[in-house]
Amino acid sequence: MWQWFHKLGSPKWFFGIAGRLMPWLGWSALIVLTVGVVWGLLFAPADYQQGDSYRIIFIHVPSAYLGQSLYVAMAVAGVVGLVWRMKMADTFIASATAVGAAMTFLALLTGAVWGKPTWGTWWVWDARLTSMLLLLFLYLGVMALRGAMEDPDVRARASAILVIVGVVNIPIIKYSVEWWNTLHQPATIKVTEAPSMPASMWVPLLICLLGFHLLVAWLILWRMRNDILLRERRARWVRDWVLAQ
Amino acid sequence: MRSEPRVPVSFQEQEGGGWLRAAVETVRREWLIAFRNRQDLINPLVFFVLIVSLFPLGVSPEPEFLRQAGPGIIWVAALLSILLSLNLLFRNDYADGHLEQWVLSPQPLALLALARVGAVWVTTVLPLVLLVPVLAVMLHLRPGTGLVLVLTLLAGTPVLVLVGAIGAALTVSLRGSGVLLVLIMTPFYVPVLIFGTGAVTAAVEGASITGHLALLGAMLSLAVVLAPLAIAGALRISVSNG
């Protein structure tokens, strides 16, 4: 276990293993997502209340889920980076920030598209929508801080601290926003009061969720490999690898 | 050139001990600096009043609107002016090498940071809170509402300063980090804003405000315990930047 952990800290080893994993992840993401999306959008039964507009959940739910969980994953990487000074932890944070922000944005966008026909409005200051918007701002803050810093070591530690402070605050932000909403307007609209879905709906949703995870893993590994090449551009093995291409 | 009082870092001589003395010296130094650079004390106050006075001009001078929106306007203006003044929190100390002495001193950095932030709250934020009754009259708030507003600001603004100081410590070594600080810290301010204005709304509607105040107090105690550690960590990183 610890040997594996030490290996994980080596950019060269990680670069190699990520290169071998990526084709598997990429192709399986493509296949699983195609199956899930086609099943969800074309073959799953329409909702008796919302008709076809509910089908956006096959994109919306996975992206919202990943938008939130990636931030937590970044915080874990931040702790690992601060405690063990592992280079790969910062590479992960660098790569996951943009992907997480993109997922959060996608969740907001698909939510708005779904909200228009269902609620009759693109946006409401609902608890869930607002906390997702704030999550997007948290991601943008991490990106802004990283963009402003030049020294890689300082950047790594500073963004780790910011991400950890963020993850401590996420529950506070989430609950305060929820309370704010219920204080001001008694819930007129339930955003995702999980209806008891039939299997013909939740099975494709589960497949889409798996597909999104594979896609995100592939994207992050891809970005991490680029980040490693950029960081280690003076190392000999990078030059050999580039020349071999 | 600004006249900066040269307070010797005398507490370094006492190995490890003298925590209280170190904290008191930090506070004293902060106050001396604050009262010798009076313009820095006045600027956030003017900014605060300016922001508040833009709303009647820009939206509506109707007393009914102002009574409704007033608490929110004052809270947002206070939040912005705190963020603005926090940008300077560690700036001069970083420039003149004072932060390095802090990091090297045997007393815990988190304690010094807490003393520093406390002193800053008293010198720059407390005057702002004291101005609020005047603004409350200008925005046609009822006397009771103004009082609750002052109470929530007293409980909430220390959290803003403590949390914002983490961002200030992270960005102190960066040039032109004013907008950056606002960008990374504003999401963290949302809970305080919600409960601060929530208490005022509850008071206007005749409901009890103790719940809101208790939550603000909970956030304050959490911030007092945890934020200094994060500030200290961030300061170490910024100083090691060289």
Q: What is the DSSP string of A31-62?
A: HHHHHHHHIIIIISPPBTTTBGGGGGHHHHHH
pLDDT at residue A196 in the model = 58
Tell me: the pLDDT tens digits for B194-234? 889 888 888 888 888 888 899 899 999 999 999 999 999 99
DSSP A85: -
Torsion-angle region of B168 (φ positive above 0: left; ψ -120 to 50: alpha; else: beta): alpha
Judged against a pLDDT cut of 60, whether residue B56 lies above it is answered with: yes
pLDDT at residue A201 in the model = 77
The answer to whether residue A20 is domain-embedded is: no
The answer to whether residue A218 is domain-embedded is: yes
With contact defined as beta carbons under 8 Å apart, do B216 and B155 qualify?
A: yes
Contact between chains at A176 and B230 (C-beta distance less than 8 A): no
The answer to whether residue A178 is domain-embedded is: yes
Mean per-residue pLDDT, A156-181: 84
pLDDT at residue B16 in the model = 54
Contact between chains at B184 and A162 (C-beta distance less than 8 A): yes
**Neighboring chain A residues of B177 at a CB cutoff of 8 Å:** 148
With contact defined as beta carbons under 8 Å apart, do B183 and B108 qualify?
A: no
The answer to whether residue A53 is domain-embedded is: no
The answer to whether residue A216 is domain-embedded is: yes
Contact between chains at A180 and B198 (C-beta distance less than 8 A): yes
Contact between chains at A158 and B237 (C-beta distance less than 8 A): yes
The answer to whether residue A39 is domain-embedded is: no
More confident residue, B4 or A213: A213
The answer to whether residue A16 is domain-embedded is: no
Q: Which of B234, B235, B171 is nearest to A145 (CA)?
A: B171
Contact between chains at B188 and A165 (C-beta distance less than 8 A): yes
Token pair 């993850």: residue: A167
pLDDT at residue B1 in the model = 41
Q: Is A194 helix (H, G, I), strand (E, B) or coil?
A: coil
The answer to whether residue A125 is domain-embedded is: yes
Across chain A, mean pLDDT equals 84
Expressed as residue numbers, the domain containing A106 is 59-191+201-244
What's the complex ipTM? 0.82
pLDDT grade for A57, boundaries at 50, 70 and 90: confident
Q: Closest approach of chain A CAs to the CA of B36, in angstroms? A: 32
Tell me: the pLDDT tens digits for A66-79? 998 999 999 999 99
CB burial of residue B175 (10 Å; 0-12, 13-18, 19+): exposed
Residue of A145, A151, A173 lying closest to B170 (CB–CB): A145
Residue of A151, A161, A183 lying closest to B241 (CB–CB): A151
pLDDT grade for B15, boundaries at 50, 70 and 90: low
Number of folded domains that form chain A: 1
Q: Closest approach of chain A CAs to the CA of B190, in angstroms? A: 7
Burial A183-201 (b: 16+ CB within 10 A, else e): beeeeeeeeeeeeeeeeeb
With contact defined as beta carbons under 8 Å apart, do A70 and A216 qualify?
A: yes
